Each structure stands twice: as C-alpha cells, then as structure tokens.
C-alpha cells in the first residue's frame, strides 16, 4: 500500500495545511472508520463532530474549521478536494493485456495502440477501436462501430452496428447502445391515433397488422460521456440519436430514438426520455423523471425527480410535477390544496347563514 506524506496530500488537494504532526497517509475514510494512517474526511457537520472520537491524526475539513489538536487540511470546496484524493486512491479494474484469445474479432476490424480486450468480447466487421481503449469482458460491438481513445467499457456492454463513440467514454455493466427505436405503424389509424384526434378509442377495433418501422439511423455519443449500468439509448429512425460531450447518465436510464441531448447534462437513474426530444446543454433530469416524445427542454433547466414532462420548457426552467409545471406554480398548487381544506371547513360554518339569507330574500 502506497503511503503519502501530509505535505504530498496537501499538494494534491490544494488546501491550507495546519500541521500538528508528521503523519503518513495510506488511506482515506470517515472519522469513525479511520485509523492512525488514515486521512479522516470531515466534510460535513456530522463528520466534524465525530473527529474527537476518531483515531485519525489528520483530517480534511472545510475552510474555517480550526482544530488545534489535529493536523488539518482546510479546503474551500470539499467535494472537489475529495475527488482529487479519490483519484489518488482509486484502482481501475484489471483488464487483460492485449487481446484475449477467446475474443472474436472480425479480420477487418481496426484495433488501436495499447488497446486491451478481455475474454468473450465480440467485435464486428470494420469496427474501429481507438487507442488505449479497454473492453473488460463479455461485450459486443457490432459492425461499423467506432470508439474513440481512452474509453473504458465494463463487462456486458452491447453496442449495435454503426454506433459512434467519442473519447474517454465510460460504459458500465450491461449498457445497451443502438437498439432499434420503438416505432410502429398500421395501415389505418390505430387506437392511440384515434384517441389523440377524437378523444376516445374508435368503435370498430380493426385487428390491424402492426408494421415495424426499421431504424436506419444510428447513435452518436460525444467525448467524456459516462453511462450507468443497464441503461439503454436507442438508435435514430433516419437521423442519428445524439448525446453531447460531457453528459453523464446514471443507471437504468432510457433515451429514445432520434433524441438530441446536449452537452454537460446530468441524467439521473431511471429517467426516461421518449423519442425525438431535444434536451439543451447542462440540463439536470432528476431521478425517475419522464419526458414525453417531441418535447424540447431549454439549456440549464432542472427537471425535478419523478416529474412527468408533457410540454416544452424554455432555458433555465425549473419544473416539477405530473404534468410538470414551473416550480412556483407547483408551490402555489400545493398551497391551494392545503388552503382548500381550511376553506371547506369555514364555508360549512357559514353555509346555513347563506342558506337562510337566500330563503329570506
């Protein structure tokens, strides 16, 4: 286990060191789980309170937390400092050097420099794998796929034909990229078309054949994108589905065909974005939110958790609820419902009086 001097650690995190003793650091942990060679992370109030009970001799604390009996590194932005530290103590999963003999790689595929490909990886015709990319195991890249440099694909990833990925992409377990869009058509208007047009389901239920609309578009993913376990992003019908640079996607997210997602978005677990949506840059979609098809969400908007978005919103919107509305309207609505309860009680009090007046009028 590598150890670091407290000065080295300070250099890494960039904070202000108040050195009480010359501790060696070999790991990081919350105060109560720390031993003598641990840098205690006391970033929040509760953890700071736990410091006197800790065996740690050094702690990372927010700026302004002065503790004279402990070596401390004070930092202005604790999460940023924590990120820097974690990068020091992180060990990447081990990947087979070179190409594992069980990998099945089409002879026409072009594999870059220093690429690592683990067991049971299948790579199709004409696919290009960029330099330094690592594909751990049990994954599939179809034909005409292109991955950038320095990508890391965890096991069980499935990538359909012609999907294009940028550099520094991280794909977690079981990610599906480029499955067909969910798109069908019938000879005559189906139930949902009728209901949209006429407000009710048609009287005669034609048992129509349902035709699949094939997806000939693909999926293009920018640089520095991370996609969580078992998430699925479908290919476009004719144009490509697009995910912008630096967008981060959590587990079990679904992004439908033809969507254009901007740069630097945060898409939290179990979010669903239906087909043909346009999501701006730096949009936050909190957990389990859903966006109906053909919706546009402006840049820098925040969609609250579990919201059901059925219309478009301009940039910098903060929306919540199902159907989703601006936060201030939602707050007002919650208040209305609360007030209505009181009002009903009051009204009942005055109702006999009003009745009497009306009768005597």
Question: Does the annotation count 257 as an active-site position?
Answer: yes
Which range binds its own copies by CB under 8 A, 4-12, 48-56, 58-66, 79-87?
A: 79-87
Q: How far is CA 82 from CA 57, 90, 245, 280, 287, in A?
A: 18, 12, 24, 29, 24
Q: Does 30 help bind its own copies (rule: CB under 8 A)? A: yes
- 312 forms part of the interface with its own copies (CB under 8 A): no
Closest to its own copies by CB, 66 or 349? 349
Catalytic residue of the set 100, 154, 173, 257: 257
Decide whether 20 or 37 has the Cβ nearer to its own copies.
Answer: 37
Q: Is 1 in the site for its own copies (CB under 8 A)?
A: no
Is 360 near its own copies (CB under 8 A)? no
Show the binding pattern over residues 213-232: x = contacts its own copies (CB under 8 A), - = does not: xxxx-------x-x-xxxxx
Window of 4-12, 15-23, 109-117, 334-342 that interacts with its own copies by CB under 8 A? 334-342
Q: Which long-range contacts does 341-346 make (Cβ < 8 Å, 24+ apart)?
A: none
Q: Tell me the three-class secondary structure of 183-230, residue by residue.
A: CEEECCCCHHHHHHHHCCCCCCCCCCCEEECCCCCCEEECCCCEECCC
Task: Please pick, from the candidates 33, 48, 99, 109, the single residue that binds its own copies as defined by CB under 8 A.
Answer: 33
* Beta carbon nearer to its own copies, 113 or 353: 353
Q: Print the binding letters for residues 47-76 with its own copies: x by CB under 8 A, - otherwise.
A: ------------------------------
CB atoms within 10 A of CB 80: 13
Show contacts with its own copies in window 150-209 (CB under 8 A). 154-156, 158, 160-161, 170, 172-174, 176, 179-180, 182, 184-188, 190-192, 195, 200-202, 205, 207-209
- CA-CA distance, 73 to 300, in Å (whole number)? 34
Helix 6-13, helix 78-89: angle, nearest 10: 120
> At its nearest, how many Å lie between its own copies and the CB of residue 68?
26
Q: Which residue do the tokens 């320095």 mark?
A: 150
* Residue from the set 77, 112, 296, 312 that interacts with its own copies by CB under 8 A: 77
Dihedral sign (CA 211, 217, 218, 223): negative
Shortest distance, CB of residue 5 to its own copies, whole angstroms? 20
Q: Which of 256, 259, 277, 297 binds its own copies (CB under 8 A)?
A: 256
Distance CA 348, CA 315 (A): 45
Structure tokens at 173: 């377990």
> What span, in angstroms and rounded, lies between the C-alpha atoms of 259 and 183?
13
Instruction: State the catalytic residues.
Output: 257
């Amino acid at each position: 286990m590598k150890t670091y001097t407290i000065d080295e650690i300070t250099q890494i995190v960039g904070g202000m060191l108040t050195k009480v003793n010359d501790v060696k650091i070999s790991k990081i942990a919350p105060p109560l789980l720390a031993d003598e060679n641990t840098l205690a992370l006391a970033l929040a109030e509760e953890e700071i309170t736990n410091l006197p009970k800790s065996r740690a001799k050094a702690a990372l604390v927010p700026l302004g937390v002065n503790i004279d009996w402990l070596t401390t590194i004070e930092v202005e932005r604790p999460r940023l400092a924590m990120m820097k530290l974690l990068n020091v103590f992180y060990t990447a999963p081990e990947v087979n050097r070179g190409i594992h003999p069980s990998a099945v790689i089409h002879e026409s595929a072009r594999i870059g420099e220093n690429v690592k490909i683990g067991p049971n990886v299948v790579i199709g015709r004409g696919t290009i794998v960029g330099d330094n990319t690592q594909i751990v195991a049990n994954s599939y890249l179809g034909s005409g796929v292109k991955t950038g440099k320095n990508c890391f694909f965890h096991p069980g990833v499935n990538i359909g034909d012609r999907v294009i990925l940028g550099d520094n992409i991280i794909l977690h377990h079981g990610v599906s990229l480029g499955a067909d869009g969910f798109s069908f058509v019938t000879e005559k208007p189906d139930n949902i078309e009728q209901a949209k047009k006429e407000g009710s389901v048609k009287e005669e239920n034609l048992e129509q054949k349902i035709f699949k609309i094939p997806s000939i578009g693909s999926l293009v993913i920018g640089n520095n994108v991370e996609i969580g376990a078992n998430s699925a992003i479908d290919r476009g019908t004719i144009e490509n589905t697009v995910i912008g640079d630096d967008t981060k996607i959590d587990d079990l997210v679904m992004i439908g065909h033809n969507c254009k997602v901007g740069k630097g978005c945060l898409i939290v677990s179990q979010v669903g974005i239906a087909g043909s949506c346009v999501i701006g840059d730096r949009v936050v979609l909190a957990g389990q939110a859903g966006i109906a098809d053909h919706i546009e969400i402006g840049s820098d908007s925040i969609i609250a958790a579990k919201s059901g978005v059925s219309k478009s919103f301009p940039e910098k919107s903060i929306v919540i609820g199902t159907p989703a509305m601006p936060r201030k309207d939602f707050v007002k609505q919650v208040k209305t419902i609360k007030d209505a309860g009181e009002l009903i009680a009051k009204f009942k009090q005055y109702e006999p009086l009003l009745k009497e007046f009306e009768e005597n009028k």
